[in-house]
Structure 1
Amino acid sequence: MRTLILLRHAKAVRAHEADSDEERGLTGRGRRDAAAAGAAMAEAGLKPTLALISTAERTRETAQHGLANFAPEMRFEDALYHAAPESIWDAFTASDAESVVIVGHNPGIGDLVSMLVHQAHDGSKLARDLSGRFPTSAFAAFEIKGEVMRAAGPRLIAAWKPLRGDD
């Protein structure tokens, strides 16, 4: 069984504060929340060995601050910039690592989390907390049994959101 961790980038500066959307870096709060997400992953016993990261500055910085204690192999992929859930899933299944973290953007990351939670038929409070909004710095981790999204047999094993969750 493989582990898929979906991590939304941390809080970024506003659009007018950067030359382009791709160049938007993290705020101070974003750097703190990314580090807190990484600590929560470690506390949950997650050990990503491969990080697939959108090429946007805010996802790169989120990986830098959130995954520092794991030292995974890092791959920066243009295809993950504002990717649809299916493209994010394809990036996961194309890798052969046992534990993969994907650092990306909403709506794709949040939509994939919702799809996997729905497939898992998980009625827990943790699963219900992931429904709807998936704020910056949030992550959800799943055990995955298969390669086809509709038959993946996902099981939600951990999740975390910053306390304010207002993004």
Structure 2
Amino acid sequence: MRTLILLRHAKAVRAHEADSDEARGLTGRGRREAALAGAAMEDAGLKPTLALVSTAQRTRETAEHGLQNFALATEYDDALYHAAPENIWDAFSASEAETVVVVGHNPGIGELVSALVHQAHDGSKLAREFSGHFPTAAFAAFEIKGDLLRAAGPRLITAWKPDRSGD
């Protein structure tokens, strides 16, 4: 049994504030929310040992600020930059680590979360909340038994998103 944590990068600067999309770094809010996401992972008892991170600056910074308290190996992968859900799944499947966090982008991260929630047949309020829009700095953690296509495969363990009720 393995654990897959899907973490969307935190809030990034606007496109016109960087030389390229890949060069967009985090805003102050993004750095704070990335750290909060990491704390929420710790609070949930998640202990990733491998981080698979898109090469974009905003995903690198999200990993730096959000995963700093974990003893883990980090691999940067160009293939995760705006990756489709299948490519994210393939990267996870190719790794041998028991608990993997993938730091990536929407729509791929959010679509994979939705697919796993659907595959798990989880009708809980938590699952419904995270099967639609997947905001920046949010994460969802799944227990994975076997292949993605098996009906008994994924189980939503926990999910978290920043509290923006004051925005």
Q: Distance in 2 between matches of 1:89 and 1:73?
A: 18
TM-score, normalised relative to structure 2: 0.96
- Does the alignment pair 1:149 with 2:154? no
Kindly provide the CA deviation profile for residues 144-167 of structure 1, in whole angstroms up to 9, marking residues without a partner as x: 001x321261000011001128xx
SS of match in other structure, 2:26: coil
Q: Distance in 1 between matches of 2:158 and 2:47?
A: 12
Q: 1:137 — aligned with what?
A: 137
SS of match in other structure, 2:112: helix
Please identify runs of 4+ aligned residues in structure 1 that moved more than 6 A.
none
- Does the alignment pair 1:50 with 2:23? no
Q: Write the letter of the residue equivalent to 2:124.
A: S
Q: Distance in 2 between matches of 1:19 and 1:87?
A: 26
Q: CA RMSD in A?
A: 1.0
Q: Distance in 1 between matches of 2:26 and 2:71?
A: 20
Unaligned runs of 5+ in 1: none
Kindly provide the CA deviation profile for residues 69-98 of structure 1, in whole angstroms up to 9, marking residues without a partner as x: 003100000000000000000000000000
Q: 1:117 — aligned with what?
A: 117
Q: 1:18 — aligned with what?
A: 18
TM-score, normalised relative to structure 1: 0.96
Q: Distance in 1 between matches of 2:71 and 2:82?
A: 25
User: Pairwise mapping of residues 1-167 of structure 1 onto structure 2 (< 5 A)?
Assistant: 1-146=1-146, 148-151=147-150, 153-164=153-164
Q: Distance in 2 between matches of 1:86 and 1:139?
A: 18
Aligned-pair distance for 1:132?
1.1
Q: Write the letter of the residue equivalent to 1:163.
A: D
Q: Distance in 2 between matches of 1:80 and 1:131?
A: 21
SS of match in other structure, 1:112: helix
Aligned-pair distance for 1:15?
0.2
Q: How many residues align?
A: 164
Q: Write the letter of the residue equivalent to 2:121.
A: H
Kindly provide the CA deviation profile for residues 118-137 of structure 1, in whole angstroms up to 9, marking residues without a partner as x: 00001111101102100000
SS of match in other structure, 1:149: coil
Higher normalized helix content (fraction of residues): 1
Aligned-pair distance for 1:7?
0.1
Unaligned runs of 5+ in 2: none
